[in-house]
Structures are given as structure tokens and as C-alpha cells.
Structure 1
């Protein structure tokens, strides 16, 4: 075996290739969308404007009294929703787990052709997520998307603790859902000095360069654990390495445009990386059943 092969493992090459294709494709989609916006004078209609007070900038759906729920009340709701999914066993079940960024993902923007179960909770941390993964044990998902970590950083949790929790999350999901594709998503950057979020001071204490390094470690862990990794970070950054203004409402949470970029990344990654493997796995199961 050559020295170069030892220092640059094959999984790293394919990971870079897949994420590179993903980034190029999403950039092209963003560019096309911006051209259309200019052409139509910014009058592209929102698919569901009634759910928003300002469809140009606010991506947060109207959750009504659910905004006042306690953490445990949120967990109880997610348990009920997971139970329904486990009992009904919808085809092509795909689960999203994470914090408010996941929670507020507009349902109408999620890639079509799948049954989505959103298990996000506002303010969630990696430790909190780790403790509630049992909620959807009985479900049979094809894919599980994980994004977690920004709240840990805001609360001052060390990189070592965050990464250790991520390892445990990945290990648990692989054991509890051995046939599912586990996809870890990178932590997104924040808006830095342009942020207006209420916890701005704590947010600014976390350098985006630190988030970038943490994502590199998270990618390495994901590859070693045998799960997928999507590097969303570069899709959301400006030339200064901060969250692009048009993608955020307050420097932390996402606008509709931000969710469109995320949706596009999930769709493209699913078509390139996940769909072929899911098709092979399905064919293998059919072959076994016919023996």
C-alpha cells in the first residue's frame, strides 16, 4: 500500500467528491433562483404565505400556543407522533432530528416522495437529543437526518463533549435502526456581527472558524462510524465565512430562502448518494424473500 493511500483514505476521497458535486449543484440552483427573482421583480409567490407574517424574511411557521410548551411537553408530543408513525408504518419514512432549525423546516419544502417525521425541539442540545432517541425506536425509517450542536456551543459546551455525544448518537441510531441510512449534517454558521438574535452576545462568543473545525471532526467521526455526512456549511456562508444575510432571519435561524437551499441539498444528496443504495437494499431484500 502506498504512503498516499494511507494518508488519504478512500472514504475521504468519495466523501469529498460527493459533497463537492452537492455544493456545485446547489450553487447553480441558488444562482438560477436569484436570476428568476430579478427577472420577476422579486414577486415569486410563497407556496403557503398564509402561514407567515412576512413571507420575504420569516421562515418560522405559526406554531401558536406550542411556542409556550415546556421541553417535556414537546417530548410528549414527539412521542405521540412517533407512535403514529410506528403503528401506521408509512412507506419511505424519513426522520429529521435536531433543534429549532429542524423544527421549523417548512413541511411543504421537504423533498417529495417521502413520509417525513420531524423530531426537532427548539433549544435542543446533543445531550438532550441523545437521551430522547428512544422515542422513535419502533419506527422503521429508510433515512434519519441528524443536525445538532449549535445550542451546545452557545451554552459553552466543549468541543470534546459535543463530539462524544455525537459519537453516541450515531452509535445508538446504527444499533436501533440497522437498515436505515444515517445522515449527519454539519452545524451551520451564524451571522456574526450582523446577528440580531436575542442571545447575540453568546452567539458571537462562538467563532464560525470553530464551527468549521468542529464540522471537519464530525465528518471524520461519521466516516469512521460508517454513516453519511452532508457538509451544508459552505452552502450557507458568505466571503467572510458567516451565515449569508439572505438566508437568516436573525443571524441564527433560517429564512425561507435558507430552507430552500437546505431542501435542495437534501434532494440532490438523496438522488446522488442515498437513492441508489436504498434501491440496492430493496432489491437485495426481494431476492432474499424469493429464495
Structure 2
């Protein structure tokens, strides 16, 4: 028995369209990478040796302790509060968000990066007040992998997400909130210094946790951005071309993430969302390249 178009929800069509666009973007990135890798160069000592994965240089703040990071984020948020920019977007999370290259962030928005390397869901919850006085249009939250690395239970992680969403709803009632899925890790191919701790976390567990996060987001009336399938290979592990060490992201990985942010933050693709005004100036407050060597 065929299903008529009337019984298929309109959001389903838009979901298919956005997911299709994201998959196409990934295919183009992979094709481009393969094309570059197949380019023939004159043999040199460097090209004959084992290929090295390009990693971003550590930023000037990579040696700061947690409180120093908090103080910096507080001061940056204060600037955004005293001089409210148009179309403010906030990144809140751990090092994956922290080291999002500012030049790769979607344009026509002012970005305030409120992420800290090694951050947990509990830590993020306790410092959400840092940007209370800002007026964000959109808030993107990604948190949880460091909880798993440190042995925090799924129940605690999920409860912290509920509290994070509730707090953001209360303090930023006009902002659109996106809960982003936890990304997979690289499995056996991971080279991160905490590799054994990563391997102790099954990617299937991360998938199940993401399903619960999606349920929470739906119940609490916020958007859920499922990045997991965009970054996972057939085995469910983080695709090697999208990571530098099985945990942190490569420039190609950030390009995929950028595409997702661009597509899912476009109001015209989701008619049930309130339309936003015309696009204004461009700006960002963030940190340039690099990654911490301990947790995310």
C-alpha cells in the first residue's frame, strides 16, 4: 500500500533535503582529497617518506589553565554584551568547538567562541552564566566526549544536557538553541595520547547516547543537529580524513561541520522556524588553530 504525500510530514521532506546536501558536501570533500592525493609530484625525500597528517599549530593560549580560560571567555562575552553585534552566534563546548578555525565558520554572522579544551557537561553547565548578558541569535552546544573519557555515566551526561537546555531557554528565550550530537572517535586507528581511554568507549554507546540526546532536544523544544553519520565510516568510527588523531578534527572535518552549520541555520530550509532578519555584518571572537594534548 503506497503512502500518499499527505501522510508524509513536511519536515520529513526538508530533513531529506538537508541530509542529502550534507552528504553531497562530504562526497565532494572526499573526491577533492583523493584528487589531490593522486597528483604526481617529483620524488623527493619528503614524498618518499611516510606521509604525515597535517595538524594545526598550537595556539598561543594552549598552556593556560582552566580558570585562565574562564577569565578570557568572560571578558570576551563582556565585550559582546556591551556592544551587541547583529546575528550573534555562540559556540559552547570543548576543544572541538574551541579550535574551530574562525576562517571556516559560516559567514554573515558574528561568532563568539565560548569553548574550553577538556570541558565536560558539568563544567559547561556551571559557566553558562559567562554569556548571560549577550543577545545571541543562535547557540550551538556540543559537549559530552570528555565526560565519556573520564568515566561519567550516560545518565549524568543526559541530565546535564537537560539542565544546560533549560538554563539557555531561561536566559536566552529569543535564541535558537542547537544541541549537536557527540562525534565518534577513530577506533583502532586513533593516535591520540589517550588512545586506550578512547578505545574503552564503544562508538555504539555514543550512538545510543545521541539518540537519547535527540529525544531530550525534541521534548525541550530545541533543534537537534545530528553530525554523527556525517563523520562516521561504515564501521561507525570517525573517518580518518576528518581527524588528526582519532579525536580532534582536521580542516576537512571542520569543512563538513561548517556545511552542517550553514544548512541547518538557514531559516528558509525549515518553514516551521521563525524567519530572521536580513543578514548584517561579519565578525568573530575566537581562537586560531591548534589542539590541547590532554582531553578535548
Distance 1:15 1:96 in 2: 26
Distance 2:185 2:268 in 1: 27
Map of 2:226 onto structure 1: 231
- What secondary structure, in the 3-state scheme, does the structure 2 residue paired with 1:68 have? coil
Distance 1:255 1:40, change over 3 A: closer
The correspondence for 2:59, drawn from 63, 66, 69, is: 63
Map of 2:93 onto structure 1: 98
The correspondence for 1:23, drawn from 16, 19, 24, is: 19
Answer 1 or 2: higher relative contact order, Cα 8 Å, separation at least 6. 2
Distance 2:174 2:159 in 1: 23
Distance 1:219 1:193, change over 3 A: same
State the 1:274 CA deviation.
7.4
Unaligned runs of 5+ in 1: 1-9, 44-55, 284-291
Distance 1:252 1:175, change over 3 A: same
Map of 1:135 onto structure 2: 130
Map of 1:4 onto structure 2: none
The correspondence for 1:178, drawn from 173, 193, 196, is: 173
State the 1:271 CA deviation.
1.8
Trace 1:1-291 onto structure 2 (pairs within 5 A): 18-39=14-35, 57-58=53-54, 60-64=56-60, 66-271=61-266, 280=275
Task: From the two aligned structures, give the one with the greater helix fraction.
Answer: 1
Equivalent residues of 1:237, 1:244 under 8 A apart: yes
- What secondary structure, in the 3-state scheme, does the structure 2 residue paired with 1:202 have? helix
Distance 1:131 1:273, change over 3 A: farther
The alignment's C-alpha RMSD in Å is 2.4
State the 1:114 CA deviation.
0.1
Q: How many residues align?
A: 260
CA distances 1:237-288 after superposition (whole Å, capped 9, x unpaired): 00100000100111000000000000001111112567867763659xxxxx
Distance 1:15 1:71 in 2: 41
Map of 1:7 onto structure 2: none
